[in-house]
Chains A and B, each alone.
Chain A
């Protein structure tokens, strides 16, 4: 069961390929089931972290938001209403915590982040990937970045993103398109240089 969850981590890199989260997992977490909690974490933490990062634009804050999200999920699981959308529920919690954090540190200047991160498997690819991450952080508007992150990393559909961010679908669609276009132009320039 848990190992199946591990497979899901890898699959999340391909949007939509990971099996959808079940309501029952949250209900098990509500019962205090440690295995369920761990499985939930393993299957979703990359999505949660990425989404938090797309809002707070800072690794330390994103990490804190991610942790707080799971602690909050653990506390609030009992009040979860199973409607077949556990991922949206998790992301909503993460979003609220991230926005809260943004408000509280409004006056603190951000230090320059280094987006070239270490990756275990293939350093060349990691460098290339980091370039996209860097571009997403530097070039995109806040909503553009959030939309494209939710689509790419969590495999959410545009209408689900619209519901989560409280934006009209048309806005989500155009932001998504603009975001990809900006990233593509940037990468083409860099790769030609």
Chain B
């Protein structure tokens, strides 16, 4: 059992034990505020009630009653055993709302799982209303608040009930309801339904941590099963429409899900247009694949083939701008027809429709295999490899004025290559050059995001730094602080990082089968965070 599970069990037990005395408190408070209430003598409610110990069951009833009181809802609502929670119904669009539903399909509780969901529920009191009435109200509110329209048309319905047949029946009737409702609002809806019949602790935790429903978490897991490079936290922030598009594009396994309609991609330029943009970048190339994807935003990823090189382009799904692109010798391709492939992505020269934003990051590598005449001949022992200087010159010919951040000579698949990275105008280039031929075998360029750029500037000695690193306790100092807590521990690599703008040392340590994770203020040496977990769990 992990620390986390253990803590969760303790927390649950205590939370379950906590009685609800809000109604009593409000009464006492009211009395105290009333003009003739006077005095401060009613602090002990227990006494006032004759200190009768109530069973937990009646306390639950009191909770329910107290909540109705607070919410100012109608007085019809009562908690009876017959009205015990039966199914959980989650509705996700981007707002996530979860309804606890009784056997007779009455709503026992409506819970917003995220801020958008809270906006949707607003001050609606759904308790006690029939499930279809509640769903009607919620979907109506989502349309009204602009969360569902032609551009974002997908709704996820998840029904949780241990009885599979019941869950599926409820799912089907809800899906039909929602479709009908949206058709009435002139929205061509895509409704996705799924059932959950067994409790899944992992799913529950993921959902709670990310403020989404278990249903949405399950959908994200399906997508991540086919593309593990995606991050759960980022996908959690996407709308169901985007997730639906991703699931479709990545061919996630949705066999046991019910799907009607088609996720709208009208908010985006569309696959076809993305393909056109990609081809316009590289006239004559064969378009191998275009796929909807996520990379710091919704993008289309296009793969093209030309003269034995494989090109990959990333296109902003909203603006059509080329965000990133790279090319590599295509190992699977038959040897290029021309002996000297000369990939020339020249965006400006294309005849086709130009992207709305010129791909400023696209390099124009003109790898020329011709022997660099001005460089000294390599010595025979080095066979006929070009010198490092010549290789650097080749790169600088493409991106004059760039700074090298890395440059290496190494063996790669029996081939000698120069590889490295360079930065020019906030764009980072990665390259590999065949050391024998002087030919580029890889060229990749990417616009640096804020963090990378700042880090780069700092490394180059520029950029403002608040407390100067000379004031830091140092990695050794951080290690000593950890060892003071854990004498004899083995301390792993310590990393200097920024957390909310404050410099911190982060790392891990191990002692007696436990793993510790720590965060230490780089200036004060104060331990800011400390987590421990047994290593074998």
- Report the bound CA distance from A116 to B95 in whole Å: 37
- Report the bound CA distance from A3 to B117 in whole Å: 10
B15 touches A14 (CB 8 A): no
- Report the bound CA distance from A17 to B14 in whole Å: 17
B60 touches A133 (CB 8 A): no
Kindly provide the distance from the CB of A14 to the nearest chain B CB, expressed in whole angstroms. 5
B10 touches A53 (CB 8 A): no
B57 touches A118 (CB 8 A): yes
Q: Is A117 an interface residue (CB 8 A)?
A: yes
- Report the bound CA distance from A132 to B57 in whole Å: 21
Contact partners of B28 in chain A: CB under 8 A: 71
B111 touches A157 (CB 8 A): no
* In-complex Cβ contact of A152 among B11, B29, B57, B526 (8 A): B11
Binds A, one of B38-46, B128-136, B321-329: B38-46
Q: Is A120 an interface residue (CB 8 A)?
A: yes
Please report which residues of chain A, range 125-140, place their CB below 8 angstroms from some CB of chain B when the two chains form the complex. 125-126, 128-130, 132-133, 136
Q: Is A81 an interface residue (CB 8 A)?
A: no
- Report the bound CA distance from A117 to B485 in whole Å: 38
A13 touches B18 (CB 8 A): no
Chain A 91-104 interface mask (CB, 8 Å, partner B; 1/0): 00000000000000
- Report the bound CA distance from A70 to B21 in whole Å: 10
What is A's interface to B at a CB cutoff of 8 Å?
Answer: 1-4, 6-7, 9-15, 17, 32, 34-35, 37-38, 41-42, 45-46, 49-50, 53, 59-60, 63-64, 66-68, 70-71, 74-75, 115, 117-122, 125-126, 128-130, 132-133, 136, 148-149, 151-153, 157-159, 169-170, 173, 176-177, 180, 183-184, 187-188
B29 touches A74 (CB 8 A): yes
A129 touches B16 (CB 8 A): yes
A133 touches B527 (CB 8 A): no
Chain B 2-45 interface mask (CB, 8 Å, partner A; 1/0): 01001111111111111111101110110001000000100111
Binds A, one of B277-285, B397-405, B414-422, B528-536: B528-536
Contact partners of B56 in chain A: CB under 8 A: 117-119
Kindly provide the distance from the CB of A180 to the nearest chain B CB, expressed in whole angstroms. 5
A37 touches B10 (CB 8 A): no
- Report the bound CA distance from A68 to B527 in whole Å: 34
Instruction: Supply 15 further A-B pairs (C-beta < 8 A) apart from A67-B21, A115-B17.
Output: A2-B123, A3-B121, A4-B118, A7-B111, A45-B22, A46-B15, A64-B46, A66-B18, A71-B43, A119-B16, A126-B13, A126-B16, A152-B6, A153-B14, A169-B527
Total number of residue pairs linking A and B with CB closer than 8 Å: 187
Contact partners of B55 in chain A: CB under 8 A: 118
Q: A70-B25, A173-B485, A180-B3 are in contact. Are A149 and B527 (CB under 8 A)?
A: no
A117 touches B17 (CB 8 A): yes
B121 touches A53 (CB 8 A): no
Q: Name A128's closest neighbour in chain B (CB-CB).
A: B9
B112 touches A4 (CB 8 A): yes
- Report the bound CA distance from A183 to B4 in whole Å: 12
Please report which residues of chain B, range 55-74, place their CB below 8 angstroms from some CB of chain A when the two chains form the complex. 55-57, 60, 67, 70-71
A2 touches B43 (CB 8 A): no
Q: Name B12's closest neighbour in chain A (CB-CB).
A: A129
B7 touches A10 (CB 8 A): no
What is B's interface to A at a CB cutoff of 8 Å?
Answer: 1, 3, 6-22, 24-26, 28-29, 33, 40, 43-46, 51, 53, 55-57, 60, 67, 70-71, 84-85, 109-113, 115, 117-118, 121, 123, 199, 205, 208-209, 211, 484-485, 514, 526-530, 532, 534
Contact partners of B514 in chain A: CB under 8 A: 177
Name the residue among B1, B9, B21, B85 with the largest chain A CB count within 10 angstroms: B9
Kindly provide the distance from the CB of B338 to the nearest chain A CB, expressed in whole angstroms. 59
- Report the bound CA distance from A42 to B18 in whole Å: 11
B85 touches A151 (CB 8 A): no
A67 touches B112 (CB 8 A): no
Kindly provide the distance from the CB of B524 to the nearest chain A CB, expressed in whole angstroms. 11
* In-complex Cβ contact of A38 among B22, B43, B109, B112 (8 A): B22
Q: A70-B25, A173-B530 are in contact. Are A133 and B118 (CB under 8 A)?
A: no
A184 touches B6 (CB 8 A): yes
Q: Name B66's closest neighbour in chain A (CB-CB).
A: A38
- Report the bound CA distance from A15 to B11 in whole Å: 8
Kindly provide the distance from the CB of B182 to the nearest chain A CB, expressed in whole angstroms. 24
**What are 8 pairs between A and B in contact, CB < 8 Å?**
A3-B118, A6-B111, A11-B211, A15-B8, A49-B19, A117-B17, A119-B56, A180-B532
Contact partners of A151 in chain B: CB under 8 A: 7
A3 touches B9 (CB 8 A): no
Please list the 4 inter-chain residue pairs (A to B) with the smallest Cβ-Cβ separation, ordered nearest first: A50-B14, A152-B7, A133-B13, A129-B13
A41 touches B25 (CB 8 A): yes
A7 touches B21 (CB 8 A): no
Q: A15-B7, A71-B29 are in contact. Are A50 and B209 (CB under 8 A)?
A: no
Kindly provide the distance from the CB of B419 to the nearest chain A CB, expressed in whole angstroms. 42
Contact partners of B12 in chain A: CB under 8 A: 13, 125, 129
